[in-house]
Amino acid sequence: MPRIKLGSWAQSAVDWLQNHLSWLFDAISTVLTGLYDAVHAVLGAPDALLMAGILAVVAWWLRGLLAAVFAFAGLALIDSFGLWDEATATLSLVLVASFLTLLLAVPLGIWAARDERVSRALRPVLDLMQTMPAFVYLIPGVMFFSIGPIPGLFATIIFSMPPGVRMTELGIRQVDGELVEAARAFGTTPRHTLTRVQLPLALPTIMAGVNQVIMLALSMVVIAGMAGAGGLGETVYAAVTQVDIGGGVESGLAVVVLAMYLDRMTGALGKRVSPLGRRAAAKSPSGARPSAVLNYRPGTAVATVGVVVLALVAGGMHLAGGERESVAAGADIGRGKKVKIGYFPWDEAVATTYLWQNVLEARGYKPEVKQLDPGPLYTALAQGQMDVQFDSWLPTTHQQYMDRYGDKLSDLGSWYGPTSLELTVPSYVKDVDSLEDLKGKAGKFGGKIVGIEASAGMMGKLNGNVLKDYGLDGEYKVVSSSTSTMLAELDRAIKNKQPVVTTLWSPHWAYGTYDLKKLKDPKGAWGKGEELHVVGKKDFAADFPRIAEWVKGFKMTEKDLASLEAEIQKGGKGKEKASAGRWLDARPGLLDKLAPVKTS
């Protein structure tokens, strides 16, 4: 069987599209970003509780008082978690994605219902869209549409479209053939047959499809958070990568609240808009209701008035509450210029990014920080959609990105080094201090070394060099999982005082949190350490000469970094900026050292 180079063809296709159709992607991106921003502006403008009130009135209108109370309580809970902004971002993304999905899915479903050939051709495409792992198209999405909500939107539309198409097709096909024939027998045009008979009767099924679309969109939006779509997905992802169980549960619950709200509301909306649903509702005996108060639903007019009043109040408050942050006189070097800083959720990246966000704000810039996976982030830098990032591990871990995008990136210098990779045991594991000591002790550790992502560079090194050099291969099995799983396993073992050996690297906050012992590497099997570099887009130094100058002088020691990371860890999720600010304020003179106002 010859090797079919499907992968490389796909790669060339993506390259070609990127090179030749970028104007198209830019245009799409502009339109979609506008749409998303508009929805987000509307949803995000009012105060959290007011918006929760508006959404609760909608629930009241659609389902009754009880639903409204639950909706308000759930949404207020999100606000109390401090996740309101993320939730509105997610909600906006879901609404825009669902709207666009349905805009495509319903006509496709209609077409498929009317033409058997279309239906047959669509089926495998829909299967592909539904089952292809999302990351496969999330990353090309980033390449086409730049970092931000649009690749997430793009992936969400792909993922959530199939049920929309299928349910529309099914709904129309399910309409009694005699009814369609009756419509034709009275001279109805095909278009009117669709709008007067088929669509109204298919509406309950189509609405079930809409519900599915919205639910899938929500689940996908969370995944898309990892590719920079922001919102709750980002907080879930960040919590998971930092083994922040509490934060994970809170942001996960926020997703659940949104899911339940959207699910119940679309379900009820289906009944409201479909003529058959209205019939069924009108027929159900009113005496069977448990309580008239709980089930009282305001009429459409009353609900509209309620929403409008709350919206006006929100508008008024919004106008009253505009404030500006002040920048020390003479220090306004940035003059409001935007700097887009990307980071992946590695602790030293989070620490430096938020530290520099504080520093740059104090110098009059408007830094925007954005969490991304390494792949998308380097892509975004190479395309100039991001300006800078602080956590490039060179010359090994991230070398592949430098090789690929080298001439489109600029290395702004290293701020920390050398790093090290190691195997680590808790310090209560007494007789193991060096890699050599592991030999013959497989029984103690259950014969396994807890690793991280199989794709990580250090895993290759561990399997390829380290185990061989110390004669450990065969004795130990490297369990690949994920960084968060590894850290969770470490935490569990330490709580139970069990022996465990894990892969770890320095700098890492785990060394500050737990009492750990880095296993010595007398043979140098892990190789030399790396340096942490600041990497900017190609024209960074030209666009931001002062910042380029400042980061060139930027250095941190392991101790400083550990204390900064600890401060951020202590501050908790969502308060990284404030924590880093506090850390900075506690060190008088550091700001001027990091970003001197006078040119040197």
Partner 1 sequence: MSRLKAEHLYKVFGKRPEAAVKRLEGGASRDELRADGTTAAVIDASFEVEAGEIFVVMGLSGSGKSTLLRMLNGLLDPTSGRVSYDGRDLTALTPAELREVRSRNISMVFQHFALFPHRSVLENAGYGLEVRGVPRAERERRAAEALELAGLGGWERSWPDELSGGMQQRVGLARALATDADLLLMDESFSALDPLIRRDMQDQLLDLQKRLKKTIVFITHDLNEAMRLGDRVAVMRDGRIVQNGTAEDILVRPANDYVASFIQDVDRSRVLTAGSIAERGDDADAVTTVAADTPLADLFAPLALGTGPVAVTGADGAPAGVVTRDRLLAALGEQPAGVTAGA
Judged by beta carbon, residue 276 or residue 302, the one nearer partner 1 is 276
- Select the residue interacting with partner 1 from 104, 245, 276, 542 (CB under 8 A): 276
Residues from 184 through 213 that contact partner 1 (CB under 8 A): 184-189, 192, 197, 200-201
Q: How far is the CB of 204 from partner 1 (least distance, A)?
A: 10
As measured in angstroms, the least distance from the Cβ of 281 to partner 1 is: 13
What DSSP character marks residue 505?
A: E
CB 282 within 8 A of CB 227: no
Closest approach of partner 1 to the CB of residue 192, in Å = 7
Nearer to partner 1, 128 or 280 (CB): 280
Q: Give the integer Cα–Cα distance in Å for 327 and 429.
A: 52
**136 or 276: CB nearest partner 1:** 276
Which lies closer to partner 1 via its Cβ, residue 276 or residue 312? 276
Closer CB to partner 1, residue 23 or residue 186? 186
CB of 84 to partner 1, least distance (A): 41
Within 13 Å of residue 431, how many CA atoms lie on the same side as its CB? 7
Question: Pairing between strand 477-479 and 448-450?
Answer: parallel
Is 188 or 399 the residue whose CB approaches partner 1 more closely? Answer: 188
Strand partners, 394: 531
Which residue in the set 120, 279, 439, 555 belongs to the binding site for partner 1 (CB under 8 A)?
A: 279
Q: The tokens 């043979």 sit on which residue?
A: 523
- Residue 509 sits at φ, ψ, to 5 deg, of -65, -20
Q: How far is the CB of 193 from partner 1 (least distance, A)?
A: 10
Between CA 89 and CA 87 the distance in angstroms is 5
Q: How far is Cα 167 from Cα 1, in angstroms, rounded to an integer? A: 40
* For the chain, counts of helices (H) and of strands (E): 28, 10
DSSP classification of residue 100? H
Q: Of 165 and 201, which CB lies nearer to partner 1 in the complex structure?
A: 201
Options 275, 406, 464, 553; binder of partner 1; rule CB under 8 A: 275
What is the spatial distance between Cα 158 and Cα 130, in angstroms, rounded to a whole number?
A: 8
Least Å from the CB of residue 237 to partner 1: 45
Element (H, E) at 364: none
- Build a one-symbol-per-residue string for 461-480: x at contacts with partner 1 by CB under 8 A, - elsewhere: --------------------
Closest approach of Cβ 107 to partner 1, in Å?
22
Which residues from 126-185 bind partner 1, rule CB under 8 A?
Answer: 176, 178-179, 181-182, 184-185
- The SS3 call for residue 396 is coil
Q: Which is nearer to partner 1, 190 or 440 (CB)?
A: 190
Please state, as a whole number, how many other Cβ atoms lie within 10 Å of the Cβ of residue 312: 11
Q: Which stretch binds partner 1 (CB under 8 A): 273-281, 374-382, 560-568, 575-583?
A: 273-281
d(CA 519, CA 441): 14
Q: Is 285 in the site for partner 1 (CB under 8 A)?
A: no
Beta strand pairing call for 502-506 and 477-479: unpaired
Q: Which stretch binds partner 1 (CB under 8 A): 233-241, 274-282, 293-301, 444-452?
A: 274-282
- Cβ neighbours of residue 105 closer than 8 Å, sequence gap 6 or more: 161, 164, 165, 168, 209, 213
> Where does this chain bind partner 1 (CB under 8 A)?
176, 178-179, 181-182, 184-189, 192, 197, 200-201, 275-276, 279
